[in-house]
Chains A and B, each alone.
Chain A
Amino acid sequence: MTIEHEILVIAAKSYGLFYLIGLSVIVLAYTFWPSNKKPFERAAKSIMEDEDRPWQ
C-alpha cells in the first residue's frame, strides 16, 4: 500500500508539472497562431451585430 501511494504521489507531482507546461504551450500556441487572428476578431465583433431574430 505504501509503495503504491508513493508512486501515485510521485506520478501526481511530476506528471502534473509536465501537464501544466504542455497545456500552457498548447493554449498559447493556439491563441497566438497567426491564422486564428481573423476568426477571433470576427467573433469579438459578431456579438455587436443586430440580433433581433435567429438566422434562417
Chain B
Amino acid sequence: MFNIHYRLERYSIRFAIGVLIVASIGGFVEIAPLFTIDETVESAPDMRVYTPLELAGRNIYIREGCYACHSQMIRTLRDEVERYGPYSLAAESQYDHPMLWGSKRTGPDLARIGGKYSDDWHVAHLNNPRDVVPPSVMPSYRWLGETELSRQDLVLDLKALQRLGVPYSEEMVTNATADAYGQAMPDSDEAEGVAERYGDATHIRDFDGNRQKVTELDALIAYLQILGRLTDAAYQNPALQKLGGPK
C-alpha cells in the first residue's frame, strides 16, 4: 500500500510540516543568495548616509503614504532612462530601511527628483500641486509648512539604523537633534557641524522659506532634494544613461 500521504494527513501536524517545507523552499532559494551577495550591491564608496533632517523627511514621506503613488526605481528601459535619468542601482537604496521602490506611478518616479526643481517650486507644489501643475491629482499638503518638525526622537532613529548596519558614526548619532536643526537654519551655530559630519556638499539651507522654525516641510524637501544624489555611482558610468530599449 502506497499510503504515505494518507497516513501523513491523518496526522495533521506532520501534514502542516510538509506544507511548510514545500512552501518555504521557493522563498529560500530566491532570497537566500541575496543575503550573501556582494555583487547585488555595487560598491559606491562615495555614498553618504541620510542626514537627520533628510531621514525625518523620509519618515514623513512614509507617514503620508507617498510611496503609494510614486515609485523610486527607474527600470532598465530606454524610455525610463530618458524620462527619469540613469537607471537605479541596488547600491543607491542600500541604506534604505525599508526600501521605497514602490509599485505604482500615479505620479512620476522620484528616484532622481533631487535637484530637478528648486526649493520654491517644491514649497508651492506641496502647498497646492495644482498651482504649478494644473492637472495634478496629488493632495495638497499645506499643513506640513505649519507643523514644527519633531526632532527629539532623531537620536533614537539614527541609533536604530546604526544597529541595523547603516554607517552612522557615534558623533552623528549624538548630534542628530542639533544637526536636524542646523541643516535648515544655515545661520545658526548648529549648521557648521552638519557639513563637518556629512560633507561639504550637504544642502544646508532654509528649504521652506520660513526662517522662524524648522518645519516638516523643511524635512520633506530636504529629503526630496537628495533623492538620487547620495552617490554619483549612477552618473559616473555613461553606459547607464543610454539603453537599447526593451527587447
B37 touches A35 (CB 8 A): no
Number of interface residues of B (CB under 8 A): 16
Known contacts A1-B38, A8-B36: A36-B6 contact under CB 8 Å: yes
**Do residues A33 and B36 form an inter-chain contact, with CB atoms below 8 A?**
no
Q: Which residues of B contact A36 (CB under 8 A)?
A: 2-3, 5-6
Known: A2-B38, A2-B39, A5-B38. A12 touches B1 (CB 8 A): no
Q: How large is the interface on A (under 10, 10 to 19, 20 to 34, 35 or more residues)?
A: 10 to 19
Q: Which of B191-221 contact A (CB under 8 A)?
A: none
CB distance from B36 to the nearest CB of A (A): 5
Name B's A-contacting residues (CB within 8 A).
Answer: 1-6, 22, 25, 29-30, 32-33, 36-39
Rank and list the top 3 A-B pairs by shortest CB-CB distance, nearest first: A12-B29, A5-B36, A30-B5
Residues of A within 8 A of B (CB): 1-2, 4-5, 8-9, 12-13, 15-16, 19, 23, 29-30, 33, 35-36, 39
| Known contacts A1-B36, A8-B36, then 10 further A-B pairs from the complex at CB < 8 Å, ordered by chain A residue | A1-B38, A2-B38, A5-B39, A12-B29, A12-B33, A23-B22, A30-B2, A33-B2, A36-B5, A39-B6
